[in-house]
Structure 1
Amino acid sequence: MKLEKIKVEDIVKVDGNDNQWGLVYDNAIAKNLSGEVNVHPVSYDLNGIKVAANIYTPAGYDPSKKYPAVTVAHPNGGVKEQVAGLFAQALADSGYISIAADAAYQGQSAGEPRMVDRPEYRIEDIHGMCDAISLFPGVDYDRIGAFGICGGGGYTLRAGQTDKRFKTVATLSAFNTGLVRRNGFVDSQINTIQDRLKAASEARNKRIRGIEVEYTPDLKLLEPEEADKLPFDMYKEGYYYYAVNYSHPCSSFIYTQDSLLQLATYDASVNMDLINVPLLMMAGKLADSFYLTEKAYANATGTSNKELFLIENAHHIETYWKPEYVIQEIKKLVKFLDKNLKGA
């Protein structure tokens, strides 16, 4: 694997946003300054797919020294320039080299058809981030941790079950994508799985015959009044996060219909006993998705060093951006990493 620099002119920009790297999170780095936290856009090959990533280095970074490192996996539909970048930058500000990469087939990473959401690909993305960050100058190979948000959190749990290069595992608002795609959110579609699998199978039939690639509905196309009528807080608030306030042209709510063929048999909470390193799972106390974190945490019987941290009054999406919640989450995450990774 070779890390290659991405030219600024090749980065997808956001209309009305003058950030040279297209970063849309609050307090994002505007320019790289000597002695400050810096961001380094890179690309690398992962199983024949060119992956786009941002690597963040701490203030006063010296490649001849050794630093702990953390991989940061973005939510379903998200990209590295949103909440994943926010946490990657915060980790660099606390002395960690961090990496946030666009999933293969998503964001600015290559792969066709676009917006495939197969568990094995998303899990491999996290293994690939570990590969890439371990080659970056100054990274201490023996002090690498994994962190994931929402869907990236669920996939990080699975990657951390087997990849023993990760000495810690942490999540925020973990989302068990397979369980939700199979049963519906809060089991709201549990009786329709056979019909949905049949439709996914037909979608694959059309794709392999070159007829068309079918996608799930694009919630970004909703009008605000339509989004306000969505049945769950996570989806309503997700609309405003991804389509309005923190929108990025590379992020998308859609995924290929035939991704369900793999998602339906995936469950991030299975084999949680294989995680035998320090584990931190954070979630909003009022999040309607909390049951997904709760189930995975209960199954994490392979480590006695585990903690469930609940953010008072917070919903799922609010944990991505609300300052009063983000400050708590970063403080908790850094404390966890400082104890279990930085000084290891």
Structure 2
Amino acid sequence: MRKLISIIALSMLIAITNMVNAQSNKKPYESNSYSLVYEGAITKNEKGKVNIHPVNYKLNGIDIAANVYTPADYDGSKKYPTIVVAHPNGGVKEQVAGLYAQRLAEAGYITIAADAAYQGASGGQPRNVDKPQNRVEDIHGMADYISEYKGVDTARLGVFGICGGGGYTLKATQTDKRFKAVATLSMFNSGMVRRNGFENSQLNTIQQRLKQASEARALEVAGGEVKYIGGGPAATDEQIAVMPFEMYREGTIYYERTHAHPNSGAFPNSGGTYTVSSLIDLMGWDATDQIELIDQPLLMMAGNQADSKYMTDDAFKKAVNAKDKELFLIDGATHIETYWKPEYVSQAVNKLGGFFKKHLQ
């Protein structure tokens, strides 16, 4: 048995090395004037090309940092279909959300990607609060802001959520009918996972973790230390290799190494860190509660090799009133590979392009 475990760990270490090497051409954020870390990112605004516009706005008294992307030859006197892009849990706008926002702008859309309140370059204390009601409000807030942006056609407003942002997008669009079409990629149901564990691996500790969350909140209220899940030193190769789920192994590499970004408040890199007290809200929440309220066209995409795919399958089945709903599987892709691997990103972008073109006429 020990020999088998050693073989598995060694194979994981080799896979980690191969993934890092495959992405070794990534530029660090310091080399990009907008601190974008994805492949093919804009380095400067040029006439006749897609441009990026860093903006700030208030949402319930909190400063929100966002990037707006405008299509080539953008003319503010014209009207353009527009897409709101919601980033993953622990992500920032300069990573995968920015990649897809830029690619959709290349297809002719105005897009916006914002850092969630309490996260990234946005305001809010304590840092890295991750309450579902905040993340859903972030999506409403992006719609508020971009609806007033020059050139935006509010009658052709869509939304696209990635990972945790996908789950929050499903919740936001249940009631926000400004969004005429809804799409997700590698959807992650944050409430389900924080409550039950990934693939229901923590069912036996639900009450224990709720007690810890309650104690953490009491400590905060009393002016004591803010307790966090995660946020420690970067994981070693050996620590990554023994993580039980591929999404977490590849996600650690993505957020801590190949696509690391500093805009995460008190923490050195973006990642999955969040306050323990957030579990009070997270564990009682589910992206699929009232999902039958979604009556807009719905596209859900996932890698067919993603160990998180069960969440997309569950939500898709429950979205019984969505119009023209479609499940699109990206052959060969894992969850995190849909964030960066060119052949998988291109498949997703092409599918999004056809979907939004059809439904944002």
Q: Is the aligned partner of 1:276 residue 2:258? A: no
- Deviations along 1:266-293, one digit per CA (max 9) or x if unpaired, are 1101211111111000001011101101
| Change in CA separation of 1:219 and 1:171 when aligned onto 2, cut-off 3 Å | farther
User: 1:203–1:258: 8 Å Cα contact kept in structure 2?
Assistant: yes
Q: Which residue in the other structure is 1:121 paired with? A: 134
> Counterpart of 1:105 in 2: which secondary structure?
coil
- CA deviations over 1:203-233 (Å, ceiling 9, x no partner): 0011111110000023662112211110000
Task: Give CA deviations for 1:171-214 in whole Å, capped at 9, x if unaligned.
Answer: 00000000000000000001100000000000001111111000
Quick check: 1:220–1:253 contact (8 Å CA) kept in 2?
Answer: no
Matched, 1:136 2:149: yes
The secondary structure found in structure 2 opposite 1:165 is: coil
Q: Indicate which of 20, 30, 43 corresponds to 2:43.
A: 30
Taking structure 2 as the reference length, the TM-score comes to 0.90
Rounded Cα–Cα distance in structure 1 between residues aligned with 2:188 and 2:226: 25
Following the alignment from structure 1 to structure 2, what is the Cα–Cα distance between the partners of residues 131 and 337? 20
Determine the C-alpha separation between the residues in 1 that align with 2:196 and 2:162: 21
Following superposition, the deviation at residue 252 of structure 1 comes to 2.7
- The one-letter code matched in structure 2 to 1:274 is L
Aligned mates of 1:207, 1:262 — CA distance in 2: 15
The amino acid across from 2:58 in the alignment is D
SS at 2:105 equivalent:
helix
Q: Map of 1:86-105 to 2, 5 A cutoff?
A: 86-105=99-118
Inter-partner Cα distance in structure 1 for 2:67 and 2:295: 29
The CA distance in 2 between the partners of 1:181 and 1:59, in whole Å, is: 41
Aligned partner of 1:44: which letter? Y
SS in 1 for 2:203: coil
- 2:201 equivalent in structure 1: 188
Distance 2:61 2:329 in 1: 40
What residue is the counterpart of 1:330 in the other structure? Answer: 349
Aligned residue for 1:18?
31
The number of equivalent residue pairs is 329
Counterpart secondary structure, 1:17 = helix
TM-score (norm 1): 0.94
Sort the Cα spacing of 1:219 and 1:312 in 2 relative to 1 into closer, same or farther, 3 A: farther
- Give structure 2 stretches of 5+ with no counterpart: 1-26, 264-269
- In angstroms, what is the RMSD of aligned CA positions? 1.1
Cα distance change on mapping 1:336 and 1:47 into 2, 3 Å: same
Q: Provide, for residues 24-55 of structure 1, a one-character-per-residue CA deviation record: whole Å limited to 9, x for no partner.
A: 01100010001110000000000000000000
Which residue matches 1:64?
77
**Partner Cα distance (2:130, 2:327) in 1:** 27
Amino acid at match of 1:263: L
Paired amino acid for 2:291: M
User: Taking every aligned residue pair, what percent have the same amino acid on both sides?
Assistant: 60
User: After the TM superposition, which parts of structure 1 deviate over 4 Å for at least 4 consecutive aligned residues?
Assistant: none
Distance of 1:56 and 1:292 partners within structure 2: 30
2-structure distance, mates of 1:270, 1:184: 18
Aligned to 2:8: none
Higher-helix-fraction structure: 2
C-alpha contact (below 8 Å) 2:28/2:259 kept by paired residues: no
Matches within 5 A, 1:223-262: 223-250=236-263, 251-262=270-281
The answer to whether the 8 Å contact 1:220/1:242 transfers is no
Find the counterpart in structure 2 of residue 309 from structure 1: 328
Contact 2:186 2:303 in 1 (8 A): yes
**Superposed displacement of residue 339, structure 1:** 0.7
Superposition deviation, residue 141 in structure 1:
1.0
1:15 Cα deviation after fit:
5.9
CA–CA distance in structure 1, aligned partners of residues 29 and 102 of structure 2: 22
What are the ranges of 5 or more consecutive residues in structure 1 without an aligned counterpart?
Answer: 1-13
